[in-house]
Copies of this chain bind each other. A is one copy, B any other.
Amino acid sequence: MRDVCVLGLGLIGGSVLRAASAAGRTAWGATASPADAAAAAADGFDVEETVDVALARAAERDALVVVAVPLPAVDEVLRRVAAVAPTCRLTDVVSVKEQVDDAVRYRLPGARYVGGHPMAGTSRSGWAASDEALFRDAAWVVIADEDHPEPEVLLDVITLALDCGAHVVPATAAEHDSAVARVSHLPHVLAAVLAAVGADGGPLAMALAAGSFTDGTRVAGSDPELVRAMCEGNRTALLDAVDDALGRLGAARGSLASTGGLAKTIQAGHAGRRTLDAQRVVKRTGISVDLTSPGALEALLALGARGGRITAVRGTSALAETS
């Protein structure tokens, strides 16, 4: 089992270090946050003094390096990787993928890089919020773009995600960014809009708020700085999603004002929710993709586009289930 070097020990990085260790991997970390470093060490984890020391060890051990810092700090960490461990296998767990991909190409043109993004989180942050079970049953996107073809690294990243308890969804960086804009970033924007319009109704409206408002505004309770950074980091794809929402909300407004009817809006929403529920029913068709075969990336991307997922690895093959 390949060693794991985690750079950044906040909620996600800390949880990767915990989960990889729990899976029996040799894993260590480093962070620029003295508080997170001290807390991780106090919890008995292997924390190196600096990122450079951690990377030198990674280079020596041919470890998989996991970049787990917030988007604004990614470039600086990639500079350290380029300086100390440029030939290491490299992945990341940042919530947008095209920007990170661009940064990797710029700083490490020959990088052995396969991006990733575990779809898990809480409204808390820092090592104190980390949890070895955070990724259990979560989707972990692994980027299978054509320009990152090294099957061995792909296998390493998929294996790490599976070891952390997640299942793997293959996608291109652009597909990922577009999908999360719709199902992760737009929900935060709409929750913020709803919370503000509700609060504008004053104490009476707040006193009458029941389940629909409470659920619809839950994520507006998250740290606003983290939400803002996450949404702004996916600007282009989020603009498309917001435009779709504006179009649908405007159509609802027009229909309500002119005919008094909302049937089309409500029916489309109900159908959308049923699609989600239906897809969550366990898929039963098993397929196997040999990652060293010529059509492997194409097969993986087709699998992800159909809503399929990789649940295990055997030899050089990914075992997947799909509807």
User: Measuring CB to CB, which residues of chain A are less than 8 angstroms from any residue of chain B?
Assistant: 119-121, 138-139, 141, 169, 171, 175-176, 178-180, 182-184, 186-222, 224, 227-228, 231-232, 235, 238-239, 241-246, 248-250, 252-253, 256-257, 260-263, 265-277, 279, 304-309, 323
Contacts and interface: CB of A to CB of B under 8 A. Distances in A.
Nearest to A141: B208
Contacts of A205: 178-179, 182-183
A187 B182 contact: no
Given A221-B273, A277-B221, A262 B189 contact: yes
B307 A204 contact: yes
A210 B119 contact: yes
Given A179-B201, A183-B209, A193 B252 contact: yes
Given A206-B307, A238-B256, 8 more contacts: A183-B205, A184-B213, A194-B245, A195-B268, A203-B305, A220-B273, A228-B262, A239-B253
A264 to B, nearest CB: 10
A183 B202 CA distance: 11
Given A244-B200, A269-B217, A208 B275 contact: no
A269 B209 contact: no
A232 B216 contact: no
A169 B269 contact: no
What is the total number of copies of this protein in its complex? 2
A284 B183 CA distance: 40
A232 B261 contact: yes
Contacts of A238: 256
The 7 closest A-B pairs by CB, nearest first: A192-B269, A203-B307, A195-B272, A199-B272, A187-B212, A220-B273, A179-B205
A128 to B, nearest CB: 20
B182 A197 contact: yes
A178 B228 CA distance: 30
Contacts of A267: 224
A113 B214 CA distance: 32
A150 B152 CA distance: 80
A224 B231 CA distance: 31
Given A182-B200, A212-B191, A239-B256, A228 B274 contact: no
A232 B238 CA distance: 30
A208 B184 CA distance: 8
A41 to B, nearest CB: 31
B227 A266 contact: yes
A167 to B, nearest CB: 9
B243 A192 contact: no
A262 to B, nearest CB: 5
Nearest to A274: B221
A261 B233 CA distance: 10
Nearest to A197: B244
10 contacts: A139-B208, A184-B209, A184-B212, A187-B213, A188-B212, A190-B194, A193-B245, A193-B249, A214-B276, A235-B256
